Structure 1
Amino acid sequence: MADKQHLYLVDGSAYIFRAYHRLPPLTNPAGTPVGAVYGYTTMLWKLADDLDKADGPTHLAVILDKGSTSFRNALYDQYKANRPDPPEDLVPQFPLIRDATRAFSLPCIEEDDLEADDLIASYAREATRRGWDVTIVSSDKDLMQLVGKCGEGGGCVDMLDTMKNQRIGIPEVVEKFGVPPELVGDVLALMGDSVDNIPGIYGVGPKTATKLIQEYGNLTAALDAAPSMKPSKLQERLVEGREMAELSRVLVQLKEDCALPIPLDEMKLDGVPPGPLAAFLSEHGFTSLLKRLDAGRGSPDRPTQLNPAKPQTAGAAASASGNRQPPPEMPPFDRSTYECVTTMERLEHWIERAFAARLVAIDTETSSLDAMRAELAGISLALGPNDACYIPLGHIVTDGGGADMFAEKPQQVERQAAYAALKPLLERDAVLKVGQNIKYDLNILTRCAGIEVAPIDDTMILSFALDAGRSLDGIGGGHGMDELSERHLGHTTLAFKDICGTGKKAIPFGEVPLDRATEYAAEDADVTWRLYTTLKPRLAVEGGTQVYERVDRPLIPVVAQMERDGIKVDRQRLARLSDEFATEIARIEDEIYNDAGMKFTIGSPKQLGDVLFDKLGYKGGRKGKSGQYSTNQAILEGLAAQGAEVATKVLEWRQLTKLKSTYTDALQAAINPDTGRVHTSYSLVGAQTGRLSSTDPNLQNIPIRTEIGRQIREAFVAEEGNVLLAADYSQIELRLAAHMADVPQLKDAFAQGEDIHARTAMEMFGTVDRDTRARAKTVNFAILYGISRWGLAGRLGMEADEAQAIIDTYFQRFPGIQSYIHTTLESVREKGYSETLFGRKTWFPRIKSGNQAERQGSERAAINAPIQGTSADIIKRAMARMMPALEAAGLGHVRMLLQVHDELVFELPERDVAAASLVIERVMAEASLPAVALDVPLGIEIGFGPSWGTAH
């Protein structure tokens, strides 16, 4: 038993709404909504698990709001009046959430006429009086009034924000509010709270409230001083708003003398009896959690910790015949079983077993995330659960960790000998190599060791093919190893920062002591092996095989090669552009200052908003919760449309400063000193619809149609004697819309090679000129993105009713488009996901959200996802087929360097342009075949020149 009792009070109401908004709409076997229940259960489980590891509480209880009203409504009838009713599908989950809490054998406390905050305050007061420490699990600002309170028994209060994994003590409260916890209520009383509809004093925001309390010491003193203050708007508001401020102070005051429904002693933690929890999980179909529970108990009657103790014996080694089929139940992770391979004899032993297993998970540890500059520190392998090893190749450590000039290398296999031994295994067709983001490992092993790894599978890409857009288990929708391990294996991996440190004290992985390096690196391979055996069988069952096997997996080595090839950029041209941009930026700044009549920080949204709406008096300013005006692009474009020259100049200034920092400056820094080229990194899971994205540097956002964008593209050049060739799908999304929505007029126009926007203008407006064609082009693309009447009105500069009339006319002329939108939304609402023509699923967990903005955003994305996703699938299929086709034509020396949206960029000798163009055009035009035969031709536009800019 701990020397000192420590009570944890969980703000359960906050957990409920976090869980609801993080998970898709799930139902249990009885058809009852349980998405929030599942999320709440996993969050409570994780909290108990984390606290168990940290040896945290001796006592714990969950506190909930019982109803929507409390004694405060009698004091102020508008209290919380603005809060909307809970979403319809959340209401039946409230009692189930209480059942979930009790299934953990935890007290679930709620009282009529009281809020959870009042019960928390009262329990905290009683516990600290007894000498217990108290931790409130919440990030609620109202509860921060309790932080630092200590009872006569010596116990004190702090908070734990599980979202940020941060303890909140007095310093954190002071940092947030500018005052100590005992004065937080005074600040809240002045500033009010729109969420709870606490009035405060109109016009007094957080900064002013804090400043007043800091200056006068407390609320009463500030209000008393108001009549003698210098006349101003603030002084008037303080005098006039005194009554509201004093009422607000009463409303935010926590009630600390409530009767305690359950005695403190009944909150004692004695483990979680598995019976009630297992029954609850089984009833609601939470099978993954049920398996996790079963893994942590030896008998049905024995209380269990949710973080089961690791077995004391090493896990059974994989048999000589290999581990081709995963065991039905995987044992808990046990890092003590991992082996550090430091001799050639042991390395050969692992290689022999990997050959027998026919499947090995691999991972590399390096000095950097940049695959084109990183040095290889070691390689890890896994053949089964807890059956993993780490092969250090470049470690230099002292006894205490860290390198110095006299440090000696620990014993490890000689690098070149290890490469020679591993090469047959990693290149042999008979053994499948599995990685998490294996593209990175391919580049490292090719560049550093000359090893061409094949065949491959990738757990990150598997996850994306199965769950793009879907968040599971309350963990989120990402596809990184840490998230996937939490989501599918219920395991928290070692953090890199815990191994290598952070900030100035961080050390390279090659300087980590081998015992810790082995735990970290071998665990990565172990997790990857387990994820593969978990995810791969789902493909056939859930319909993901086609898109994974025919689109995504073949692309991995192709993109890896593109990253290694890189593209040359003209450093001198970039430097000249940077100078030109700097000159132009300075000129625009002077004009903005002149228009504003003052100098200010243009990049500061607050200062810009004050200038535009307060000083210059433009209409349309909207303040957010922070109290400052919004100055986003839509706001500035609206002002510019009204004739506000300063807004036009700010938009131009923003574009130039972004292009300068993101491209002309950053590209110079990104030039690899060894290759003289820029090597972007492509992500196959970066865009929900399946499009590739690029980083370091990002080449996707260079403006397409502008002169500035062309100038930046001019800096991307071919090596001497070569040219760059750009092949671009022409209007592919409109072509796919014509096919998928079955629109005869559009299909006919594409078949005849007509100008599709002119055809639309004729159908819509009865005439074709520059204005009607431009409008038709806007409408064509806007409709496919599910634009609203107000959105279209903004783009076309008209009233919403006029825009609605255009939308109505469009649907009358092209009824297939309206039918496609309706059918797509109905399908997504029913299934929860959209599908491309190749079967790629994109999940939309918020398509039925009670939040209008979330729901409408999901609807717009769902309308476009099948079209944009099919476009992405097609260009991926073209990329995967391109090099074999070029090689078959005797053009294997042609290099595919870039993929940007609907465009592919190649480098080749100019003499081969004609022959290569024929191959490239054919591969791109036929990319959908034989899986999908389109009713419209895929148009390809090809150009070439010494630079990317001239190739257009």
Structure 2
Amino acid sequence: MKVYGLWQLFCTLELPLIPILAVMESHSIRVNRGEMERTSALLGSRLKELEQEAHFVAGERFHITSNNQLREILFGKLKLHLRSPRETLPRTGLQKLPSTSEAVNIQGISRHPIQITKPQDFKGLEGTVLTISPRSMFVASDGHTFLAADFSQIELRILTHLSGDPELLKLFRESERDDVFSTLTSQWKDIPPERVTHADREQTKKVVYSAVYGAGKERLAACLGVTVQEAALFLETFLQKYKKIKDFVQTTIAQCRQTGYVASIMGRRRLLPRVHAQDQQLRAQAERQAVNFAVQGSAADLCKMAMIRVFTAVAASPTLTARLVAQLHDELLFEVEEPQVPEFAALVRGTMEALQDVPALQLQVPLKVSLSAGQSWGHLVPLQEGTGPSAQPTSC
């Protein structure tokens, strides 16, 4: 590890993380058992209806969870691949919520509500659309509350640091009080900030990440619901405005070709031998993975460092008892005693935002942390700096 420059990473991030993960995994998360059983029954009934509909369309009964049988029905009997030759058919599969006795994969629980048509065997009006929020079934212990902390726009901030794009650097240094993607939209499209709509903002986010991760004009067009020509124009104008992003992408790919790997901000390596593949598709995939890892791998480094520093601070505190419940991408979820929320929230925000000044990082952009709290994981409300929860819920 010393030869490959990985010893410091191992000692400063990986080893200290072991006891943190052990403590986190040794604690369970409380669930609203009644709500989980009701939701499981509801989804089970709806899945049964859908299975019956599938049998009707296929003209025969089959095991819908069997890949072989499903493949034979879709392509052997119904020949869907011949009906829509230009479209990529999605992968198929069915899932249902586990029972209260089964382990739950926290990473796979959707943050977005799920809408389903009410099953016929449930009371109420037929055709009613029901909304299920999977995260709402996870609740804090008595006398505690959940507190979620996540780095705001972390990938865009890391991209700005790595690329050194002057326009993006200016954006983060001067417009921190405003919504960054709205300001970016105003800057890119040259329209007043007050005229930026939510749709404009979401479009900008998709263009940004398409440009970085090499999604291509066809995929961006499908994502935005526009023509390929319009998507190509979006990408072209964006990369003309922020020229250093394109330079960063090209430099990252070139270095990967030269060394055979790509490194994160803390020196973590990902080997990508297919960057030299003769097959163009395999080579292009490796190139996208290289840029992706440079940004997302660096975000993961920051998140691990935040976990270690917050854990250490709590361990050293004579009063704080907060514990880390889960880590989901750039979000950390804690369970905190209710009277300790203000003190712990200040500690978390200060600790995580201070990472920008760590000597090993020396980020060119400030880090910003969003906090939210609530009794249920699915109903968290934002915490403003130095204040309690605001009135509106967040979708963390």
Quickly name the TM-score band, shorter chain normalised. Answer: 0.7 to 0.9
Q: For 1:762, what is the secondary structure of its paired residue?
A: helix
Hey, what does 2:141 align to over in structure 1?
A: 719
Q: Tell me if structure 1 keeps the 8 A contact 2:353–2:369.
A: yes
- Choose which of 111, 121, 127 in structure 2 pairs with 1:704: 111
Provide Cα deviations, 1:38-80, integer angstroms capped at 9, x if missing partner: xxxxxxxxxxxxxxxxxxxxxxxxxxxxxxxxxxxxxxxxxxx
Q: Tell me if structure 2 keeps the 8 A contact 1:847–1:854.
A: yes
Hey, what does 2:18 align to over in structure 1?
A: 556
Provide Cα deviations, 1:493-544, integer angstroms capped at 9, x if missing partner: xxxxxxxxxxxxxxxxxxxxxxxxxxxxxxxxxxxxxxxxxxxxxx222211
Compared CA separation, residues 803 and 613, structure 1 to 2 (3 A): farther
Offset, 1:907: 1.2
Structure showing the higher helix proportion among its residues: 2
Hey, what does 1:606 align to over in structure 2?
A: 72
Q: Tell me if structure 1 keeps the 8 A contact 2:58–2:78.
A: no
Equivalent positions of 1:449-464 (< 5 A) are none
Q: Tell me if structure 1 keeps the 8 A contact 2:146–2:377.
A: yes
Hey, what does 1:631 align to over in structure 2?
A: 89
Offset, 1:613: 4.8
**Cα distance between partner residues in 2 of 1:611 and 1:758:** 49
Offset, 1:582: 1.8
Hey, what does 2:197 align to over in structure 1?
A: 769
Q: For 2:266, what is the secondary structure of its paired residue?
A: coil
Compared CA separation, residues 785 and 606, structure 1 to 2 (3 A): farther
Compared CA separation, residues 621 and 807, structure 1 to 2 (3 A): closer
Matching of residue 568 in structure 1 with residue 34 in structure 2:
no
RMSD over equivalenced CA pairs, Å: 2.6
Provide Cα deviations, 1:536-588, integer angstroms capped at 9, x if missing partner: xxx22221122111111111111111111232223322111111112333444
**Cα distance between partner residues in 2 of 1:583 and 1:757:** 41
Q: TM-score, normalised by structure 2?
A: 0.81
**Cα distance between partner residues in 1 of 2:242 and 2:172:** 15
Identity %: 30
Instruction: Report the residue type matching 1:620 in the other structure.
Output: P
Q: Tell me if structure 2 keeps the 8 A contact 1:761–1:772.
A: yes
Provide Cα deviations, 1:781-821, integer angstroms capped at 9, x if missing partner: 22222212222222123333332222111110110110100
- Choose which of 726, 741, 749 in structure 1 pairs with 2:171: 749
Q: For 2:285, what is the secondary structure of its paired residue?
A: helix
Matching of residue 810 in structure 1 with residue 238 in structure 2:
yes
Q: Tell me if structure 2 keeps the 8 A contact 1:716–1:948.
A: yes
Compared CA separation, residues 895 and 800, structure 1 to 2 (3 A): same
Matching of residue 738 in structure 1 with residue 160 in structure 2:
yes
**Cα distance between partner residues in 2 of 1:707 and 1:544:** 42
Hey, what does 2:374 align to over in structure 1?
A: 945
Q: For 1:930, what is the secondary structure of its paired residue?
A: coil
- Choose which of 878, 898, 913 in structure 1 pairs with 2:306: 878
Offset, 1:741: 1.0
Q: Tell me if structure 2 keeps the 8 A contact 1:764–1:813.
A: yes
Provide Cα deviations, 1:273-292, integer angstroms capped at 9, x if missing partner: xxxxxxxxxxxxxxxxxxxx
- Bigger-Rg structure (1/2): 1
Kindly indicate whether structure 1 or structure 2 has the higher relative contact order, using CA contacts under 8 Å at least 6 residues apart: 2
**Cα distance between partner residues in 2 of 1:614 and 1:856:** 29
Q: Tell me if structure 2 keeps the 8 A contact 1:883–1:892.
A: no
Instruction: Report the residue type matching 1:839 in the other structure.
Output: G
Compared CA separation, residues 562 and 772, structure 1 to 2 (3 A): same
Instruction: Report the residue type matching 2:259 in the other structure.
Output: K
- Choose which of 213, 216, 219 in structure 2 pairs with 1:791: 219
Hey, what does 2:98 align to over in structure 1?
A: 665
Compared CA separation, residues 609 and 600, structure 1 to 2 (3 A): farther
Instruction: Report the residue type matching 1:579 in the other structure.
Output: A
Instruction: Report the residue type matching 2:111 in the other structure.
Output: I
**Cα distance between partner residues in 1 of 2:301 and 2:15:** 12
Hey, what does 1:619 align to over in structure 2?
A: 84
Provide Cα deviations, 1:719-765, integer angstroms capped at 9, x if missing partner: 21211111122221111111111123333333322323323333444
Offset, 1:855: 0.9
Count residues with an aligned counterpart.
354
**Cα distance between partner residues in 2 of 1:559 and 1:544:** 21
Hey, what does 1:867 align to over in structure 2?
A: 295
Q: TM-score, normalised by structure 1?
A: 0.35
Offset, 1:593: 6.5
**Cα distance between partner residues in 2 of 1:856 and 1:697:** 35
Gapped runs of 5+ residues in structure 1? 1-538, 623-629, 634-650, 671-695
Q: Tell me if structure 1 keeps the 8 A contact 2:39–2:132.
A: no
Offset, 1:851: 1.6
Q: Tell me if structure 2 keeps the 8 A contact 1:811–1:818.
A: yes
Matching of residue 729 in structure 1 with residue 151 in structure 2:
yes
Compared CA separation, residues 900 and 771, structure 1 to 2 (3 A): closer
Q: Tell me if structure 2 keeps the 8 A contact 1:609–1:631.
A: no
Q: For 1:568, what is the secondary structure of its paired residue?
A: coil
Offset, 1:913: 0.5
Q: Tell me if structure 2 keeps the 8 A contact 1:786–1:861.
A: no
Instruction: Report the residue type matching 1:540 in the other structure.
Output: K
Hey, what does 1:838 align to over in structure 2?
A: 266
- Choose which of 237, 256, 265 in structure 2 pairs with 1:828: 256
Q: Tell me if structure 1 keeps the 8 A contact 2:114–2:132.
A: yes
